[in-house]
Structure 1
Amino acid sequence: MASQTAVDLRIERRPKLSESVVSAIRGQILSGEFAPGQKLPTESQLTETFGVSRTVIREAIATLAADGLVEARQGAGVFVINHPAQAFASLSHELGNKISHALNVLEVRMGIEIESAGLAALRRNSAQEARIQEAFFEFERLLDARQATGKVDFAFHRAIAAATNNPFYVEVLDALGSRTIPCDVASPWGTESVLTHEYQVGLQREHLVILNAISAGDAQAARDGMRAHLTASQERYRSRLIGQQAEYMQGVGKPRSS
């Protein structure tokens, strides 16, 4: 009887149609597809694009307005407005290639992603869990093909954030961006020590621990797995700093090139 109750409590919560529309438009705004000051498509166009009713579109726009992403102007339409996440995203693009910056971003990510992993274990629906798994197996495919995994690595973490069903986790992660993934060749923090195949194999093992915990609905194990994953990344960067210091010390006393 108790086990049946547990099963009943885990019946999936299906997201409302308006939530799917909100998620899609939010992603377009944060990615820059809809720039600040730009007018969104009309209500009729959005209804046709998403295949939903006008009521759903109006509800989605109301949510986006409440989140400070858009504003409705009487007789003119709905426009994208500036918001803190966009300023945050601009800041992340200004960061240089210093390892100290990577460590700072990882510290922020720990404050966000450890809890998002736990919430994802509790709140994810089957479609969201499937997206996390798809990102995991795409990482594996690229790994086997010896191709860059940075973008799909970010997709894995973003899918976990989306599975919290709290849009702000996704918004903050989008603001940080895929530049925070060191195994991406496009990352300013990618170094020879973090672009190796062995390094990425280690990442995938850590991903598997997180994925298994989320699939099992074990919130604490998911938090622990994410904490271990991000802590390991911090340690890899600290090791890189120590290596740089060692290289410097080996050069001390040697003639400097003029």
Structure 2
Amino acid sequence: MAADAVVDLRIERRPKLSESVVSAIRAQVVSGEYAPGQKLPTESRMGELFGVSRTVVREAIATLAADGLVEARQGAGVFVKDHPTLAFGSITLDVGNKISHALNVIEVRMGLEIESAGLAALRRNAAQEAQIHEAFFEFDRLLERGEATGKSDFAFHRAIAAATNNSYYVEVLDALGMRAIPCDVASPWGTDSMLSRNYQEGLQREHLAILKAISASDPEAARAAMRAHLTASQERYRALLSGQQAKWISGTAERKG
């Protein structure tokens, strides 16, 4: 038991400063300290409050904006969004950069997205199907240009949720926000292996299977394809965790040697 605890401490990366600021502001928003529509303090003031630079504050605000909690209005400041995802804000309150948290998020997504894929195959209209296609091809375009694909990956899954024509699927997915997507430089769980072209091409093949099933109005195939996609993501994270443990064991052996 003691050895296991040591391994956990060794392989865990310390949070970035911006992630700590994100968690603090998110807690204030969820608790109601900052109400919907309320303006946040200026970058300078937040830097003073949190003891960080304005660059760190900007990075934190960008993450919160991507998660749908705040919006920046040019010349006016940053405001808390009046958005139903605030009701689910506690879902991501404590999400950090541990692989265990990433696995927990994927488990939640499996409960949500497997059924949403099946419903999308049955209920989507032409415009919604087009949005799913557009997100798929935007991912491909960004991949070819060597740019971050995380936002288009999230857009693909969100478009499927929207195609259920049940707004709650979208709301819960929005609450998870970009932290649900590992293959982006902004994600706390992104690694060189997860940002590689081969990794992302594999994601696209999985996405294509989901897209084909939805387009064919085959709900069971859509559910199966989404289940396969998210299960593969779980396995990739478990492999990453095993690799970190092996690296630590190897490093310990070398030091003792």
Name the TM tier (shorter chain): 0.5 to 0.7
1:215 corresponds to 2:215: yes
Q: C-alpha displacement at 1:91, in angstroms? A: 4.4
Partner Cα separation in structure 1 for residue 81 and residue 204 of structure 2: 38
Q: Distance in 2 between matches of 1:105 and 1:169?
A: 15
Q: Is the 8 A contact 2:206 2:225 kept in 1?
A: yes
Task: Name the SS of the counterpart of 1:195 in structure 2.
Answer: coil
Please show how residues 43-122 of structure 1 align to structure 2 within 5 Å.
85-122=85-122
- Cα deviation, residue 224, structure 1: 0.3
Equivalent in the alignment of 1:164? 164
Using the alignment, how far apart are the partners of 2:224 and 2:164 within structure 1? 16
Residues 177-223 of structure 1, C-alpha deviations (whole Å, 9 max, x = no match) = 01110001100111112110100000000000000000000000000
Alignment partner, residue 137 of structure 1: 137
Question: Tell me, what secondary structure is at the counterpart of 2:255?
Answer: coil
2: distance between equivalents of 1:116 and 1:88? 18
CA shift, 1:89, in A, is 2.7
Structure-2 separation of matches of 1:81 and 1:254 = 52
Paired residues of 2:142 and 2:148 also in contact (CA < 8 A): yes
Whole-angstrom distance in 1 between the partners of 2:81 and 2:182: 31
1:240 match: 240
Distance 1:194 1:131, change over 3 A: same
Whether the 8 Å contact between 2:84 and 2:171 is mirrored in structure 1 is no
What is the TM-score when the length of structure 2 is the normalising length? 0.67
Structure 1 residue 241: deviation in Å?
Answer: 0.5
For residues 91-136 of structure 1, the C-alpha deviation after alignment (integer angstroms, 9 at most, x for no partner) is 4154211000000000000000000000000000000000000000
Letter of the 2:239 partner, please give it: S
Q: Find the counterpart in structure 2 of residue 200 from structure 1.
A: 200
The structural deviation recorded for 1:225 is: 0.3
Partner of 1:31: none
Describe the SS at the equivalent of 1:192.
coil
Structure 2 residue runs without a partner (length 5+) = 1-34, 39-79
Deviations 1:16-45 (A, max 9, x none): xxxxxxxxxxxxxxxxxxx6266xxxxxxx
Distance 1:182 1:82 in 2: 27
Deviation larger for 184-193 or 196-205: 184-193
Distance in 2 (CA, whole Å) between partners of 1:188 and 1:81 is: 23
Distance in 2 (alpha carbons) for counterparts of 1:222 and 1:183:
22
User: How far is the alpha carbon of 1:144 from its aligned partner?
Assistant: 1.0
In the alignment of these two chains, the number of paired residues is 183
Counterpart position of 1:65: none
* Partner residue in 2 for 1:152: 152
RMSD after superposition: 2.4
Over 3 Å counting, the alpha-carbon distance change for 1:145 and 1:93 in structure 2 is: farther
CA contact (8 A) 2:118 2:223 kept: yes
Query: Could you tell me how far 1:84 is from its partner in structure 2?
Result: 7.9
Q: Please give the secondary structure, in 1, of the residue aligned with 2:193.
A: helix
Distance (Å, rounded) in 1 between the aligned partners of 2:81 and 2:251: 52
Counterpart of 1:96, as a letter, is G
User: For residue 189 of structure 1, what is the aligned residue in structure 2?
Assistant: 189
**Closer/same/farther in 2, CA of residues 252 and 121 from structure 1, 3 Å limit:** same
Residue in structure 2 matched with residue 252 of structure 1 by the alignment: 252
Amino acid at match of 1:204: Q
Task: Give the whole-Å Cα distance in 1 for the aligned partners of 2:255 and 2:126.
Answer: 63
What is the alpha-carbon distance in structure 1 between the residues aligned to residue 253 and residue 133 of structure 2?
A: 53
- Contact map agreement 1:89 1:177 (CA 8 A) in 2: no
